[in-house]
């Protein structure tokens, strides 16, 4: 019963949060809602017994990713309302719904026929983190290392890309200097 209550509660919260993220015209609201949604998702992981994944979710998304986004948003003018496409609303809704239905069908098909066999079965008396660790460092060692390298590369790339002309600070500059910089920007 507790599980059901928790599931419906968090499901409602997640959907609501993400709905806000997608629909709001204020970038700050969107960011906040996204961060909240991420945390609510980690709740599902905990419910499902994937403790490790839940922890990672909180650390990575609400910690690292959101921090990155927050930094990113500082670059842009977030006070303005975000312009939206003047697209056909029916197409958007139609395509999304169709996709959703199809995915459900695809996932449902093998479920009904019940022909899935566990490759790495969960051992009953071992903790989730322990199990994850064992598999991560045996079967998935190489992908894991590759992912590590990928993250490193992404980090370096992010710094290199964003860090160009980081030595200039707009807050410390006078308004004329900022004008000049802006002209330069336009010219370049």
Contact present, 45 and 12 (Cβ < 8 Å): no
Residues 41-100 touching other proteins, rule: CB under 8 A, are: 41, 44-45, 48-50, 52-53, 56-57, 60-61, 64-65, 68-69, 71-73, 75-76, 82-85, 87, 91-93, 95-100
Task: Please report how close the Cβ of residue 4 comes to other proteins at its closest, in angstroms.
Answer: 5
Closer to other proteins by Cβ: residue 48 or 175: 48
Per CB under 8 A, 172 contacts other proteins: no
Contact present, 93 and 100 (Cβ < 8 Å): no
C-alpha closest to that of 35 among 50, 18, 19, 48: 18
Instruction: Output the CA torsion sign for 128, 129, 130, 136.
Output: positive
By rule CB under 8 A, what count of residues binds other proteins?
A: 92
Per-residue tokens: 152: 């490193």
Residues 107-146 touching other proteins, rule: CB under 8 A, are: 107-109, 111, 113, 116, 118-122, 131-132, 135-136, 140, 143
C-alpha closest to that of 165 among 146, 137, 184: 184
Closer to other proteins by Cβ: residue 97 or 179: 97
In this structure, how many other beta carbons lie within 10 angstroms of the beta carbon of residue 69? 16
Residues 8-37 touching other proteins, rule: CB under 8 A, are: 11, 14-15, 18-19, 21-22, 27, 30-31, 34, 37
């Amino acid at each position: 019963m507790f599980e059901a209550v928790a599931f419906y509660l968090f499901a409602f919260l997640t959907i609501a949060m993400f709905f806000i993220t997608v629909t709001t015209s204020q970038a700050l609201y969107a960011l906040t809602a996204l961060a909240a949604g991420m945390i609510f998702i980690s709740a599902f992981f905990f419910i499902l017994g994937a403790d490790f994944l839940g922890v990672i979710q909180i650390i990575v998304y609400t910690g690292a990713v959101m921090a990155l986004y927050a930094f990113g948003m500082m670059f842009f003018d977030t006070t303005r309302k975000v312009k939206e496409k003047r697209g056909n609303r029916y197409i958007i809704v139609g395509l999304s719904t169709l996709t959703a239905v199809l995915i459900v069908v695809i996932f449902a098909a093998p479920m009904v026929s019940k022909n899935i066999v566990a490759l790495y079965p969960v051992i009953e008396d071992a903790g989730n983190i322990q199990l994850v660790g064992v598999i991560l460092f045996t079967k998935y060692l190489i992908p894991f290392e590759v992912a590590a390298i990928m993250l490193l590369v992404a980090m370096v790339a992010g710094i290199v890309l964003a860090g160009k002309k980081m030595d200039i600070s707009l807050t410390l500059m006078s308004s004329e200097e900022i004008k000049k910089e802006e002209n330069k920007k336009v010219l370049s």
